[in-house]
């Protein structure tokens, strides 16, 4: 059994929980325990019982410790990075009153539109919170709950984000961090605090919300005796405030005030995201201008349809996910779950440009192209939000860090290279969200800056792939279809 001090970083995502058992000194990933989640819902609904996350966390920690052959007594800290935006409502005993509404639940699109107008339009929201309400944002889900399930909203004794819920189960302390809080719609990056006017707008009492820690690596409290027994860990070890999944990935990559600034990242998972850490507070209505976990900012563009949507197209075609060829003349916009960027919450997928000689492999390639194009469109906006001109050589040639499950796929990597025209760095670790959480746990247990910890560990390092000539014909073909067809994508 390992006798080095250990930390555990938890990645509680939409589909699963991962627990990274990590050497606190070297950052060596000893094992990753896993447990699956169940997401339910139809007609735009996407929900999970928060108790599923707690059970999965316990299972993942136990599996990780067993696989690592680690002594639980060596664990000194734990932190949770969770899927952003989900709405968790609890009773006075901390039990969920209903299943959590997840980030990709699109039922609150009408509430998003109404809230946007109520404050004076998109730019007013961007100036105050950094983000314009779309169906993903937590405030719109709370407003939907008030309108559709008022008895539940009135009974709520606490309102949490997914990572807040788990952190509170671990430490007994109601706490969040600026990063995840900045995705709620009631936290203002302009002031670094909950915004009283926005809370009044959605009829939410600040007493229902967790306190906001200075950073995600702040010690939120100690592991309670009950949580320690459930997890098989020592009571009293450090529990970090934790953060959202994208913020944690940035920490794992060494992005932030003590590391790299203004370097773009593309994450290919259930959702597709592009982001960078910067000292410039984002105010673009075209992006989410989140706070980062370490006190900097994280301008981010996010799409709903990424690897899962492309895998569905492969399934329909009877192909493996790597059986793709460039799409030829076909364009496939795989907006199977509506879309967040562009803001088309009730959209359906669109296929056009079929020819007699179009092959199934080309159709799958077109799905890859459509998904990659959708998230790469936001890259220039992210760079502008960092105060950079995306056309300047220094910004245009800056490597794109490719992470998430898709980064391990040949078809995804080649598509991103071809459509971006940029060099691409693929970090050697595939568990950057969990490793970022581990760095937060190490900071909470021993002090220091979590970004500096991750940089010292080298968790964001990996080979750099040379750029290829950008496929401007494919880019322009897809852009033209999207521009012409956006109204028809609405189902």
What the chain holds in terms of domains, given with CATH numbers, is 6-246 (3.30.420.40), 256-426+461-491 (3.30.420.40)
Residue positions in the annotated binding site? 84-85
Residue positions in the annotated binding site for substrate? 84-85
Spatial distance between the Cα atoms of 452 and 454, rounded to a whole number of angstroms? 5
Nearby residues of 42 by Cβ (< 8 Å), 6 or more positions away: none
User: Residue 175, exposed/middle/buried by CB under 10 A (0-12, 13-18, 19+)?
Assistant: buried
Note if 311 is an active site residue.
no
Q: What residue ranges of the chain have pLDDT lower than 50? A: 1-2, 491
Residue (of 107, 242, 57) closest to 161 by Cα position: 242
pLDDT over 70, % of the chain: 99
Residue (of 293, 274, 270, 269) closest to 284 by Cα position: 274
Residue (of 424, 391, 414) closest to 474 by Cα position: 414
Spatial distance between the Cα atoms of 208 and 164, rounded to a whole number of angstroms? 12
pLDDT for 271 equals 87
Q: Which of 11, 177, 195, 245 is labelled catalytic?
A: 245
Look up the pTM and report it.
0.90
- In eight-state DSSP terms, residue 287 is S
432-446 vs 450-457: helix axis angle to the nearest 10?
Answer: 120
pLDDT for 430 equals 85
Nearby residues of 304 by Cβ (< 8 Å), 6 or more positions away: 104, 106, 136, 271, 335, 337, 338, 339, 340
Q: Are 376 and 478 in contact (CB under 8 A)?
A: no
Q: Are 112 and 85 in contact (CB under 8 A)?
A: no
pLDDT for 231 equals 98
pLDDT for 301 equals 92
Question: What would the pLDDT profile of 216-250 be if each residue is shown by its tens digit?
Answer: 999 999 999 999 999 999 999 999 999 999 999 99
């Amino acid at each position: 059994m390992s006798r080095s001090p250990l930390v555990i970083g938890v990645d509680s995502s939409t589909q699963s929980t991962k627990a990274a058992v990590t050497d606190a000194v070297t950052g060596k990933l000893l094992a990753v325990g896993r447990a699956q989640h169940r997401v339910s819902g139809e007609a735009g609904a996407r929900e999970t019982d928060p108790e599923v996350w707690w059970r999965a966390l316990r299972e993942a920690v136990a599996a990780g410790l067993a696989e690592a052959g680690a002594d639980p007594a060596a664990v000194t800290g734990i932190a949770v990075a969770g899927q952003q935006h989900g709405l968790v409502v609890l009773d006075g005993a901390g039990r969920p009153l209903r299943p959590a509404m997840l980030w990709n639940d699109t039922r609150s699109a009408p509430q998003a539109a109404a809230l946007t107008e109520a404050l004076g339009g998109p730019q007013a929201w961007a100036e105050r919170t950094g983000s314009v309400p779309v169906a993903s944002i937590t405030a719109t889900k709370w407003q939907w709950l008030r309108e559709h399930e008022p008895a539940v909203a009135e009974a709520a004794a606490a309102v949490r984000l997914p990572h807040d819920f788990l952190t509170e189960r671990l430490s007994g302390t109601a706490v969040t961090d600026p990063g995840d809080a900045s995705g709620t719609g009631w936290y203002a990056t302009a002031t670094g605090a909950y915004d009283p006017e926005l809370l009044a707008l959605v009829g939410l009492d600040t007493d229902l919300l967790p306190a906001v820690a200075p950073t995600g690596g702040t010690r939120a409290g100690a592991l309670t005796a009950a949580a320690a027994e459930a997890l098989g860990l020592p009571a009293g070890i450090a529990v970090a405030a934790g953060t959202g999944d994208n913020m944690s990935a940035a920490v794992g990559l060494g992005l932030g005030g003590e590391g790299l600034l203004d370097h773009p990242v593309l994450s290919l998972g259930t959702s597709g995201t592009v982001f960078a850490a910067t000292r410039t507070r984002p105010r673009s209505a075209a992006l989410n201008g989140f706070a980062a976990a370490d006190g900097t900012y994280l301008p981010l563009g996010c799409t709903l349809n990424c690897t899962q949507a492309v895998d569905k197209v492969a399934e329909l075609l009877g192909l493996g996910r790597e059986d793709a060829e460039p799409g030829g003349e076909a364009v496939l916009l795989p907006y199977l779950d509506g879309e967040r960027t562009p803001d088309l919450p009730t959209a359906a997928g669109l296929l056009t440009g079929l020819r007699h000689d179009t092959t199934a492999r080309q159709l799958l390639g077109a799905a890859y192209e459509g998904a990659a194009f959708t998230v790469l469109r936001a890259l220039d906006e992210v760079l502008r939000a960092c105060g950079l001109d995306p056309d300047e050589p220094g910004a245009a040639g800056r490597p794109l860090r490719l992470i998430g499950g898709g980064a391990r796929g040949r078809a995804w990597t080649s598509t991103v290279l071809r459509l971006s025209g940029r060099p691409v760095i693929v970090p050697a670790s595939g568990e950057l969200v969990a490793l970022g959480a581990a760095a937060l746990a190490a900071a909470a247990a021993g002090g220091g800056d979590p970004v500096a910890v991750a940089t010292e560990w080298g968790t964001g390092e990996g080979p750099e792939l040379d750029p290829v000539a950008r496929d401007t014909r494919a880019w322009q073909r897809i852009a033209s279809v999207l521009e012409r067809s956006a109204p028809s994508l609405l189902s």
